[in-house]
Amino acid sequence: MSMITRRALIAAGAAGGLGYALLPGFSVAAAATDQRFIFIIMRGAADGLSIVAPTGDPDFAAARGGRNVDSTGGARLDPMFTLHPSLVEMGKLYQANEALFVHAVASPYRDRSHFDGQNVLETGGESPYVLKDGWLNRMLALLPVDESRALAIAPAVPMALRGPRPVETYAAGPQPRVTDDLLARVGRMYQGDAELDEVWARAQSTRALAGDLGADAGRNAIALGALAGKLLGAESGPRIAMIETGGWDTHVSQRSRLEGQLKGLDGMIAALRTGLGPAWRRTTVLVATEFGRTVAINGTGGTDHGTASVAMLLGGAVKGGRVIADWPGLKPAALYEGRDLKPTESLHGVIAGAVAGHFGLEPKRVVAGLFPGSPASATEGLARA
């Protein structure tokens, strides 16, 4: 029996996400499809009014108390909307018709609890805790078996991927608590070893899975995007994935926090695209949050929990270069409950439309499979098979 050396173990761990390459039962058989579908969740309720700012709305500046500077220098998407200036790479994707934004969008959830809102977003239910499995796991049942291999890039399998279909995981389950002091001492062991020093640095850069994307100047986010791209871009890799991100709850100092968060997300998407290589042409990435934030800025320079936000579709399979919005306006009388951006687009419909278009499935079947009991209709024309 051969021995696994320290050098082989750490190299395998870094290349495979410190656990993925060592998973029992991981198949290396080539998948039968070239289509990739990736769901990136923004936990914490991301402010869609800053991400894609309605600068063409005459009431926007007043609604934000004159504080609409977040959009200064951002890419002008159309006469109504401007992209946040931190989203430089997404702006390029938009110009290449590989990015599409759906504004004033929301799930059926209308209260403002993170836990309940995320449960509705991930299970696809009409209300919290009605469904016990996730829409992304149910999506696997709509695909041929050889095409339905999924990967959760998260500390544990997220609700959206839980269900009867098997899911591979990165950093699955509770991990032993490792102190920063121990990690620093281990790092010093590898100094001077040209191979191991580089491998250890790569491994360390992917430790923060669901943390703030702005942490470490976005380097963690970029490393995670690169890792995901390589795993999904490999001929033997999975074709479906979910990536967790956190840090979107911007009650205080939103302008600076959101700038870092969006730079991290932008870097992650760019690294994901590079890692996927030619497979990017057959990829759809959905980015969504549980709900939006208030229109008005609060007394600490942040925003509070709201309702409608923005969803993003990115990738070579996306019919991009558009903002889809039945814009409700920002006059006080037009706000939901007098405080929030009013929802006019169904997030369930957007997800169903993206899945149906991307995999060439019948839209009504997708709605029924992903969102049982939902009155939503699939938004068509979002992606191509």
CATH number among 3.40.50, 2.60.40, 3.40.720, 3.90.320, domain 31-171+209-370? 3.40.720
Radius of gyration from C-alpha coordinates of the chain: 21
Amino acid (1-letter code) at residue 255: R
Residue 8: pLDDT above 80? no
Quote the CA–CA distance of 28 and 24 in Å, as a whole number: 12
CB atoms within 10 A of CB 236: 12
Contact at 8 Å (CB) between 83 and 103? no
User: DSSP letters of 313-381?
Assistant: EESTTB--SEEE------SGGGSBTTTBPPP-EEHHHHHHHHHHHHHT--HHHHHHHHSTT-------S
Residues whose CB is less than 8 angstroms from the CB of residue 170 and which lie 6 or more positions away in sequence, other chains included: 17, 19, 20, 151, 152, 153, 154, 209, 227, 231
Instruction: Give 183 or 129, the one with higher predicted confidence.
Output: 129
Which tokens is 43 given?
A: 């936990």
Q: Band of the pLDDT at 379, cuts 50, 70, 90? A: very high
Q: What is the pLDDT of residue 169?
A: 85
Which tokens is 295 given?
A: 């229109």
Residues whose CB is less than 8 angstroms from the CB of residue 241 and which lie 6 or more positions away in sequence, other chains included: 36, 37, 38, 39, 150, 151, 152, 153, 228, 231, 232
The residue-averaged pLDDT of 99-115 equals: 97
For the chain, give the mean pLDDT.
84
Q: Band of the pLDDT at 146, cuts 50, 70, 90? A: confident
Which tokens is 188 given?
A: 């010093």
Interhelix angle for 363-370 vs 347-359, to 10°? Answer: 130
**pLDDT per position as a tens digit, 62-80:** 999 876 567 889 999 999 9
Quote the CA–CA distance of 130 and 120 in Å, as a whole number: 9
**pLDDT per position as a tens digit, 189-239:** 656 666 555 555 544 444 433 457 877 777 888 988 998 999 999 988 899
- Residue 76, beta-bridge partner list: 82
Record the pTM.
0.83
